[in-house]
Amino acid sequence: MTRGRHRHPLLLEALQAGEVVVEELAERFGVSASTIRRDLQQLASEKTIRRTYGGAVIAHPLPETSLPEREAQARPEKAAIARAALSLLAEDDILILDGGSTVAAFGAGLARRRHAIITNNLPLATVLAGAPGLALTVLGGAVRPGSMSTMGPLAEAALRRLTADKAVVSGDGFVAGRGLCEAALEQVALKSLMMEQAAEVVVLMDSSKLGRATQGAWAPLPRRWTLVTDAGATEVQCAEAEAAGARVVRAGQ
């Protein structure tokens, strides 16, 4: 059993990984649920966390990392996810591709294939421009320097005129029942529209992001979708995604 004043830093560490529930914390620290509720109430009064129904989340989102920082993270996992996701495509699929480093790793593998591609991912657009088998459409709009992607009403207006077979998206985290989180409302507005305009939704996400709620803006997922993650995803993580409507593909398995 962890004693009171020593529990608070450990509680915050647990919450950094995403939303947790009271019963899970009580079991982890060997105390009663009422004790955990008192701890959470104390942290909430200090504005360190924010209470949710049955649990809590960190009050302030973690600082957003830059695109170069994200590109350097989990490179082997992203490469494996990209290969697995490419195997899910049908020839001549029309694809909507989201911003972000994991989708960029996937998109780089399309250069020798035949697809129509719609994207707001500016680094990926420069990679795919001129590929002989591809028809590339780039969504205009406001440029978000942190992710080097476009967003906003201009991007949304263009996207509403287009449809696709598959939307391939990612995010800063996934929580069952909430969807995908990002730092800005404009990001999730465009991401949600991408999913609406496609017949199928494929989410590319390494296992470190599953169950994480590190940002405060949310894009709900459709009733049925596909998650492509790495072989390190746990059975619990996969079960949570499946309960939220996912068909789970673990790269390398």
> Which of 187, 209, 193, 1 is closest to 96 using CA atoms?
193
Q: Are residues 117 and 21 in the same domain?
A: no
For residue 213, is pLDDT > 90?
Answer: no
Mean pLDDT of 202-210: 94
For residue 72, is pLDDT > 80?
Answer: no
CATH number of residue 97's parent domain: 3.40.50.1360
Number of structural domains (the chain) is 2
The answer to whether the CB of 225 falls within 8 A of the CB of 202 is yes
Mean pLDDT of 137-164: 94
CATH number of residue 20's parent domain: 1.10.10.10
Q: What percent of the chain has pLDDT over 70?
A: 83
Q: Are residues 124 and 212 in the same domain?
A: yes
For residue 9, is pLDDT > 70?
Answer: no
pLDDT of residue 58: 61
Q: Are residues 222 and 204 in the same domain?
A: yes
Q: Are residues 49 and 72 in the same domain?
A: no
Residue 41 structure tokens: 């109430």
Q: Are residues 10 and 97 in the same domain?
A: no
Q: Are residues 198 and 170 in the same domain?
A: yes
Q: Are residues 20 and 110 in the same domain?
A: no
Least confidently predicted of 55-69, 137-151, 184-198: 55-69
Q: Are residues 86 and 178 in the same domain?
A: yes
Residue 208 structure tokens: 């470190």
Q: Are residues 89 and 157 in the same domain?
A: yes
3-state secondary structure of 246: strand
> Which of 80, 26, 32 is closest to 56 using CA atoms?
26
Domain region containing 48: 4-58
Confidence of residue 41 (pLDDT cuts 50, 70, 90): confident
- Phi and psi of 230, rounded to 5°? -95, 170
Q: Are residues 73 and 92 in the same domain?
A: yes
